[in-house]
Amino acid sequence: MAGMEIDTVENLQRKQSTYQSLDETFVIQNETYRGQQYSQIYFARLHMMRTLLYSLVTHWKPHVPVCTVLGLEEGKECIIVGTLYKHMKLKPCILDEYSKERSAVPLVKHHNFMHPDDHLVLEDESGRVKLGGTVLSPSVYVTGVVVALHGKETGAGDFMVLDVLEAGLAPQIEPQLKSREDKYVVFISGVSAGSSSSNPLQFQLLVDHITGHLGDEKEQGIVAEIVHVVIAGNSVEIPLGLLNGQNLASKDQSRLSEPVQELDILLTQIAAGVPVDIMPGSNDPANFSLPQQPLNRWLFPGSRAYNTFRSCTNPHCFELDGVRILGTSGQNIDDLKKYSEGRDGLEFMERTLKWRHLAPTTPNTLGCYPFTDRDPFLIESCPHVYFVGNQDKYGTRILKGSEGQLVRLISIPKFCDTGMVVVLNLRNLECHTLSFETQFSS
């Protein structure tokens, strides 16, 4: 019976797709750290976004003059363009750890730092001004977003906002939906091999499904239409207790490497049959700050033997059969959840696209490399699919832009908690989930 199963798998005629990596903007190369501060990435962001917003302002409010913060005049309506800064009463500060009064301050829940007294400030090279009015809600915006504001200066020196203009969705190339047949991409996130909540059997079932070792002939016909697998971060969980700065004993060294070895065994099985991209996440052995660089291929001696195995950056951008796919391992959305409010993760994803910035809270509350002349997180071309990994639950919807852009948003749940993966059809950009559950009887 086992021999028959192997024969069936070997005879699986898998469909192919055309792949193009677009990760070069996220790769840190030819960059030299010379002690530069983070102000330069803010200047680069403001310069790029201001040029864009100026071109939009002429159609938005053509008769309202544009001026700088320093050029504001009391009572005179104008438009100012700048970077938002949100003053947050509860935002954690490293200095609080050394404050004598720290014990008197109530502890804040870590999931959100919003407070009713939070307010927004707009800043450009000439100065900054506190924003007033009800048009611009502090609960929606975060530090780092560049906007154009229509309003006037009040007697108190504040800027009363009457209207706001965001960049909106970037231009989108026409999707070359070449495929008139079904082709599927499988998105996995939060495998967390080596953690207490990880179920190796659950992941093995998923691997067996992708490789065609499960199901009847009809099921294997569907499996043959899987053309790509994306693993969106947090694939392993290293025991942090071992990383205490001391030399490791030999038994501890093996404990440190076991999760990666376990992952490599499973990835090798996938890469043997289908192209797989693996992105680093916050818990993986990669650099902490964004953009995270590809996981070292030498961590995966089995998988790297296949040219179908690709270690990618986070964020990750690529095209499959003319469909542009952009995504992250979740840090950008998780940070927005801490410093703003929304109905669900998909709403935060929508905002990043409308602000044309993948991670607006970098470098304020989310670590990033101190780029000097560019901001790699600016979205210059709108993707057809935008995914975010390591979320609490699955969610999806279509976002429509003012110029006809259509984006499939996908929130990928943690596999170790839910046993769920997301499957996207490249033919029509529809998606659904697959669940893998295991039960043990005592």
What local confidence, expressed as pLDDT, does residue 17 receive? 85
What local confidence, expressed as pLDDT, does residue 306 receive? 96
Contact 221, 14 (CB under 8 A): no
Residue 32 CB neighbour total at 10 angstroms: 6
Residue 313 has pLDDT above 60, yes or no: yes
Across the beta sheet with 420-425, what order do the strands follow? 309-311, 276-279, 226-232, 184-188, 420-425, 431-435
Question: Which runs of consecutive H residues, i.e. helices, occur in 177-330?
Answer: 200-210, 217-223, 250-271
The bridge status of strand 276-279 relative to strand 226-232 is: parallel
Residue 101 has pLDDT above 70, yes or no: no
Contact 263, 191 (CB under 8 A): yes
What local confidence, expressed as pLDDT, does residue 175 receive? 76
Phi-psi region of 123 (alpha: psi -120 to 50; beta: other; left: phi over 0): beta
CA-wise closest residue to 385 among 405, 413, 403: 405
3-state secondary structure of 34: coil
Residue 415 has pLDDT above 80, yes or no: yes
Region 402-420: mean pLDDT is 95
How far is CA 391 from its chain centroid? 10
Region 377-387: mean pLDDT is 97
Percent of all residues in the chain with a pLDDT value above 90, rounded to a whole number: 71
Element (H or E) spanning 348, and its range?
helix 345-354
In terms of C-beta density within 10 A (0-12 exposed, 13-18 middle, 19 or more buried), how is residue 66 classed? middle
CA-wise closest residue to 409 among 309, 326, 311, 340: 326
What local confidence, expressed as pLDDT, does residue 177 receive? 62
Residue 99 has pLDDT above 70, yes or no: no
Region 216-234: mean pLDDT is 87
3-state secondary structure of 361: coil
Q: What is the pLDDT of residues 159-186, one digit of tens each?
A: 999 999 999 999 999 876 655 789 999 9
Region 218-242: mean pLDDT is 86
Contact 392, 363 (CB under 8 A): no
CA-wise closest residue to 409 among 420, 389, 395, 423: 395
* Across 7-11, 222-226, 324-328, least confident range: 7-11
What local confidence, expressed as pLDDT, does residue 111 receive? 76
What local confidence, expressed as pLDDT, does residue 8 receive? 36
User: What whole-number distance in Å separates Cα of residue 63 and Cα of residue 60?
Assistant: 9
What local confidence, expressed as pLDDT, does residue 162 receive? 97
Q: What is the pLDDT of residues 257-312, one digit of tens each?
A: 888 999 999 999 999 999 999 999 999 999 999 999 999 999 999 999 999 999 99
3-state secondary structure of 63: coil
User: What whole-number distance in Å separates Cα of residue 63 and Cα of residue 57?
Assistant: 10
* Across 11-15, 108-112, 342-346, least confident range: 108-112
Phi, psi angles (nearest 5°) of residue 52: -65, -45
CA angle 337–79–382, rounded 5-degree value: 45
3-state secondary structure of 31: coil
Region 330-341: mean pLDDT is 96
Give me the DSSP letters along 382-404: --SEEEEEEESS-EEEEEE-TTS
User: What whole-number distance in Å separates Cα of residue 81 and Cα of residue 146?
Assistant: 7
Percent of all residues in the chain with a pLDDT value above 70, rounded to a whole number: 88
